[in-house]
Structure 1
Amino acid sequence: MPTPRRASSPRTARSCAGPRGGVHRAGTETSTYGNGSTDGAVRSGERVAKEILAAL
């Protein structure tokens, strides 16, 4: 079975992550761990949920 390709590098992911103008971005491309995988997408969603709760 071939290894899945990464969607982007961790460096690119860090630059895409984080809130910008009240918009929080989540997805595998914004994950610095498991980038390009379902695990990365879940971790990214958890990160954004924490960011939003902290902003309330």
Structure 2
Amino acid sequence: MVLNHQHRLPPHERRPKPYSRPEFLAAQDEPVITTLEFFAAWREEDWGAAP
């Protein structure tokens, strides 16, 4: 899942990870990446960097 979080903030002010609660992260079955992580992987053509 690609998540566009904190969309009211400029991209350079957004947190790098959208979730911080360990119990929520442990409950995820699929990887969750932010639009910034997705963009960075695309820009660098490093698809292994995206979870």
Do the two structures share a fold, i.e. TM-score over 0.5? no
Higher strand share: 2
User: What TM-score do you get using the length of structure 2 for normalisation?
Assistant: 0.29
- Work out which structure has the larger RCO, using CA pairs closer than 8 Å and 6 or more positions apart in sequence: 2
User: What TM-score do you get using the length of structure 1 for normalisation?
Assistant: 0.28
